[in-house]
Amino acid sequence: MAEIIVVTSGKGGVGKTTTSASLACGLAQRGKRVAVIDFDIGLRNLDLIMGCERRVVYDFVNVIQGDCTLRQALIKDKRIDTLCVLAASQTRDKDALSDAGVRRVLDELAADGFEYIICDSPAGIEKGAHLAMYFADRAVVVVNPEVSSVRDSDRILGLLASKTQRAERGNGAVKEHLLLTRYSPRRVASGEMMSVDDVREILGLDVVGVVPESPDVLSASNAGTPVILNGDSDVSGAYQDAVARLLGETVPMRFTQEPRKGFFARMFGG
Amino acid sequence: MSTNLEFSLPEAAQALPPVIDIRYGQVGLVHVRVRTTDPGVILDELTGRIAAAPHFFRRTAVCLDLSALDQVPEVAEIRAVIEAVRRAGMLSIGLAGDSATLDGVASVLNLPLLSGLRTAIRSVPVVQPPQAVPPSPVPATAVPAQAPEPTAADSSAPALIHTQPVRSGQRIYARHRDLIVTAGVGAGAEVMADGCLHVYGALRGRAMAGAHGELAARVFCQDFQAELVSIAGVFRVFETIPAELAGKPVQAWLTGDDLHFARIGG
């Protein structure tokens, strides 16, 4: 039985695609069969982050419209062989997605033996975001520690509780997780940024991961390597922890305090 | 609707199997409110009404409600009324009305005095104040109340209980009753009730009690961070939360046209 996880936020630019790519890689590294789907039709980015942009022949919309089979459109990752990417269409708009079409693709992926299907939601609360979350079993809500992102996440959580298949059929709520990105313990300490506890308290949810602010994210994106695969980075460690927590493991929270140890101790001691 | 509570018996009684189970039960009870003690008039009217559904009322238990009478009736008068009700096919099992004045006659008649308080409250004429807050159009994400909505006359309707966080953009409305939220109300969310509003969590959004003009409605919350509080249309916006109230348990109430706020519990 495939588990469908939507990565969503409401607000743009908070790190949904980075998170989708890293969580998908992290799960696949642990031997799970994972498909990651870009729902941002018309603004496709996931293929760039995953480093497979030149291998996109068919996309999500092509599969929905029957131009190709799902198998033709799935792009096998070159680094981890249990990971596949389904790219968005760059030339179409979001109206090309249909409820029935998305359902069929998800069913086919599940029938094909994928254990996790990661849906990378577009920003906003329009059709693309709606369809990305509609069939989800779990949701990772990506939030930056600042008021507008927290407000938008609250809105998205409201939609997850009412506008999803699970909510409408009443067969158990979508399991919700918070994932904080761009977290800077130094700025939290100086009062410029909301703390993990502030965000947790306002949204009333448990935090599945805290990803520190880091230039490694940008360089990983530019290189087309999901940042979780950059083993030297704190960001990679934070995403590995988040993957472990998603799988039910208990892992102590890291990277939420200003480092007191020296630089090298932090790099190699964690 | 029926709830049963089984009383636990003392240990001594548990040695032998008890021959009696005492349970607390609730049954619906027909109230017959009389505005006269003339048995002939009552029998005529009851027979006419019952003719519409004779099987429904045959040997049905009724509570004789005397709260609408102008003066306290004599024992003999009540006996005549009870006899009239019996001849109409129904059985009076108790009296209702003002407990202070009916206690005597009830004990003479060997009948229990039922639900005196509630009947007394209901018999007070209700003046509907003008609608203070016109219901604004419901946004697409409004969460409908799950339970059937009670009517205005049903003052005993239980509060609408909402256990999930009320998120930004959501709107919960308890029609004709109180609303209890056992989680937080997010910024940009809206909670409304025709009665009182209780939030056992942080109240960051908008809170409107007495949405149809109930002046005695109040707002209670555990952690006050509200954007707006309104009671019967009188509202106050908090651009900045008063420092002495922020994060505290607070209640709000209306005196005249003034909205008051105070900490609960000192």
Task: Map out the domains of chain B as residue ranges.
Answer: 30-117, 160-263
Residues of chain A neighbouring B187 (CB-CB closer than 8 A):
151, 154, 202
Say whether residue A161 is in contact with chain B using an 8 A CB cutoff.
Answer: yes
How close does chain A come to B140, measured CA to CA in Å?
10
Domains B30-117 and B160-263 share a fold: no
Q: How confident is the model at residue B1 (pLDDT cuts 50, 70, 90)?
A: very low
Cβ A2 vs Cβ A109: under 8 Å: yes
Domain at B160-263: CATH architecture: 3 Solenoid (2.160)
Nearest CB partner across the interface for A158, out of B167, B201, B204:
B167
- What is the pLDDT of chain B when averaged over all its residues? 79
How close does chain B come to A21, measured CA to CA in Å?
28
- CATH domain B30-117 topology: Alpha-Beta Plaits (3.30.70)
Question: Which among B141, B168, B204 is the top mutation candidate for probing chain A, defined by the most A β-carbons within 10 Å of its own β-carbon?
Answer: B168
Asked if A151 lies within 8 A of B165 by C-beta distance, the reply is: no
Asked if B167 lies within 8 A of A201 by C-beta distance, the reply is: no
Q: What is the pLDDT averaged over residues B140-148? A: 46
A188-215 pLDDT, tens digit per residue, is 999 899 999 999 999 999 899 999 999 9
Q: What is the pLDDT averaged over residues B130-152? A: 46
Q: How many Cβ atoms sit within 10 Å of the Cβ of residue A59?
A: 24
Asked if A162 lies within 8 A of B141 by C-beta distance, the reply is: yes
Residues of chain B neighbouring A204 (CB-CB closer than 8 A):
165, 183-184, 201
Nearest CB partner across the interface for A161, out of B164, B187, B204:
B164
pLDDT of residue B139: 44
- Tell me the whole-structure pTM to 2 decimals: 0.66
pLDDT of residue A1: 82
Asked if A202 lies within 8 A of B186 by C-beta distance, the reply is: yes
ipTM of the complex: 0.73
More confident residue, B13 or B94: B94
pLDDT of residue B72: 81
A123-174 pLDDT, tens digit per residue, is 999 999 999 999 999 999 999 999 999 999 999 999 999 999 999 998 789 9
Residues of chain A neighbouring B189 (CB-CB closer than 8 A):
154, 158
How close does chain B come to A180, measured CA to CA in Å?
18
Question: Which among B146, B163, B167 is the top mutation candidate for probing chain A, defined by the most A β-carbons within 10 Å of its own β-carbon?
Answer: B167
Nearest CB partner across the interface for B168, out of A158, A163, A201:
A158
Q: What is the pLDDT averaged over residues B31-38? A: 86
pLDDT at A223 over 90: yes
pLDDT at B119 over 70: no
- Minimum mean pLDDT range among A112-126, B125-139, B195-209: B125-139
Q: How confident is the model at residue A86 (pLDDT cuts 50, 70, 90)?
A: very high
pLDDT at A248 over 50: yes
Asked if A151 lies within 8 A of B164 by C-beta distance, the reply is: no
pLDDT of residue B155: 57
Residues of chain B neighbouring A157 (CB-CB closer than 8 A):
165, 167
Tally helices (H) and strands (E) across chain B: 6, 16
- Minimum mean pLDDT range among A147-151, B28-32, B139-143, B208-212: B139-143
CB pairs under 8 A between A and B: 47
pLDDT of residue B213: 86
